[in-house]
Each structure stands twice: as C-alpha cells, then as structure tokens.
Amino acid sequence: MARLARAEVFSPDEVAIVHVMNRVVRRCFLLGTDSLTGKNYDHRKEWIEELLKRYAACFGIDLLGFAILSNHFHLILRSRPDVVATWDDAEVARRWLLLCPIRKDDHGNPLEPNQAELDFIQNDARKLELIRLRLSDIGWWMRLLCQTVAMRANHEDQEVGRFWQSRFRAVRLLDEAALVACAAYVDLNPIRAAMADRLETSDYTSVQRRLQAQQPQSASRETSKPSDAPLAEKNQSRSSASKSDDTAKKHPSSVDQFLAPLPLKEREGKTGPVANRTGARCSDKGFLPMTQEDYLQLLHWTAKQLPRETRPRTSPQLKVVLGKLELNTNTWLSLVRKFGRLFYNVAGRPQTIELTRSRIGQHRHYVRSETREVFS
C-alpha cells in the first residue's frame, strides 16, 4: 500500500500529534559507535538535542518526547497553530530569524535579529503569512533538523551525498491509547535496543531529562554495582553515569524545560493555547491523561517486562491507570514492544482508524491484521 502524502494526514493549520522517525543511510551507526571503524559519533546526539531545544523555543510546536539512538531518532511533536495565532507580527519574524538567521556569532549560533531584518519580513504580508504557517509545520521542523545535522556531519567527515536514509516517517496519533503507548515506546527505545537497563541510564531520551529535573542529584550519582560484577558491566555503568553527569552539568536546573509537561490539566481550567512565557518551549499544555508519577511508574514497570514473555503481574495502581485507557496488560505490552510495526499513516484503536478519513481525498486508512489481533 502506497504511503499517503503528508498533507492527507496532518496540516500545519490544525493541532495534530505526530510520531516522527528518521534513520541514517544504510542503517550505519553514524550517531553512535561504529563497530567497523571504531569511531564514536555520540557527540552528534548532542547536536540533535541542542537543536531540539532551539526549535522547541522558536517553533509553534510542542516537543512531547524524544529518543536519540546510534542510527536513528524518534520524536513526538504536537503542532500548535493556536499558539502561533497569539504571536504578533514582530514575534513571528523574530522567531523565524532565530531559526534561519541572517547573522551568526563566531560559534555559529544565531544572533538576535535587528530592526531592519525584522522589518524585511513584517513589511511583506505574503511572506509573513507563509512564515506564520511554517512555524507550526512539523515538516519544516524536520526539514531544518535533518538538513542541519546532515550538512554538519558531512562536513565533519569530508563526505558528500545522503546522510539520512530517506524522508522522515510520520504517523499521526489519533487517541489517548495510541499517544500513551507511543510515548512509552519512544522513552523505552534504548531499553528495547539493549543499550540501557533502566530509565536513569537511557541516555538522550526525554524520560531521562524528566527524571534529572525531578531528582537532579541522583541523576549525576554513579550507579553502584556489586563488587563481583563483570568488569565490562562496571565500565558500562560508569560510562552511562558519566554521560548523565555531563548532561546535567550542561543543562543545570532546566533539563526538561524544553519538553511539554506530561499531565493534561484541562479539568483544572488550563484550556486554550496555554502559551509558555519563559521562552523555553511553545506552550505549557500537557498531553497525557495521567500524572507524571503514574507515567514514570508505568514506564519502570514496563521496562522490567519488555525482555520477558511470561504473564506479567501488575499493581492495583497500574491496573487503574491502564483501565482508564481501556487496555489490559498484554495489549499494553504488545503496543510498546511493536508500536513501530503496528501502524502505517495513523495510529489508534482499529475502530478509531476506520472512522478516520484522510484530510483531502477522504481515503480510508489501512488497519493491519496484527493490529486487530493486539486489540482483540
């Protein structure tokens, strides 16, 4: 089945939550340690995270979650044209010029635009309208991110040609079950890939940043290992602790401020755009139907179950959390383990997908047989 055009699935003029993923060319480890050459490219993960912070502060898009691995990365993004609508023309021009700067400092960072640069955009109504739309366009976020990383990596390696395998993959999340499962799938990616054994050592993930913000001291504390543990295991623990410590130093008290908050608090009156006033992110609107404590507890429990195939045991509190999503433990674990294979253009319960039509052509969305079995 041919993949639908992006405009059929989501648009920058509407609020949409989308899971995006991109992989480097030929699945090489160009963002981590290359076992063939012995070269380590972990610093490129830092590039991506720094760009995510910058884009979260400038775009009208909420960054809900991320995971950066050795040969690909995952993001969960929410377009916010309603927030962009609250910005005046000067703010729209300023944000765009910070994303695509005319002038940069000696380190390549964008300089604050001057009045002449702002006026060049503000005095052109057509250009201003186009830029206002781009600021809530997930396609433009990914375009700038992938292009910047590719150009920088090619320059570093003295190479030309493709860095990314293809255009990014995008799946729109249609309901709460898909959103929570996708968030867990992204946050647990390093554990699923056997790159980490627990959330605190899952480097370059949104859940690690949230945990560091919650307990900044424990994030920088080295994980203790039994004295009889294998030397390789001890070294791996020290390496993970060192990475977490370095990140905590680089992002002191606001390690997760560029991320959207977890709990959705519309029942407490936090409705509408809820635009962020600090400049660290687009808005202060949450996205999950549960507290941060419940979500982290659910992740801790799920991480322990991923390698197992036995019947899992859940606490009464987790049963309540999953019950609100109308999911049992087996369905939940199947979604987290196989989320990337279960959905095509859109993600959700089979009945939700079947009731959804593409935006322009009104095409029906395909539901895989395996997806039906998971929800049956």
pLDDT digits (tens, 9 = 90+) for 48-67: 999 999 999 999 999 999 99
Residue 2 clears pLDDT 90, i.e. is over it = no
Higher pLDDT, 307 or 57: 57
The arithmetic mean of pLDDT across residues 74-103, rounded, is 97
In tens, the pLDDT along 208-250 reads 999 999 875 443 444 333 334 343 333 443 444 445 445 444 4
**Least confident span in 171-175, 260-264, 266-270, 372-376:** 266-270
What pLDDT is recorded for position 267? 59
Domains in the chain (CATH in brackets) are 6-80+136-375 (3.30.70.1290)
Residue 331 clears pLDDT 60, i.e. is over it = yes
The arithmetic mean of pLDDT across residues 58-85, rounded, is 98
What pLDDT is recorded for position 102? 94
**Least confident span in 69-83, 187-201, 217-231, 252-266:** 217-231
Higher pLDDT, 36 or 326: 326
Residue 72 clears pLDDT 60, i.e. is over it = yes
In tens, the pLDDT along 10-63 reads 999 999 999 999 999 987 999 999 888 889 999 999 999 999 999 999 999 999
Residue 274 clears pLDDT 60, i.e. is over it = yes
Q: What percent of the chain is modeled with pLDDT above 90? A: 77
Looking at every residue in the chain, the average pLDDT score rounds to 88
Higher pLDDT, 271 or 238: 271
Higher pLDDT, 240 or 201: 201
Confidence grade of residue 268 (pLDDT, cut at 50, 70, 90): low
What pLDDT is recorded for position 357? 95
Helix axes of 292-305 and 329-342: crossing angle, nearest 10 degrees: 80
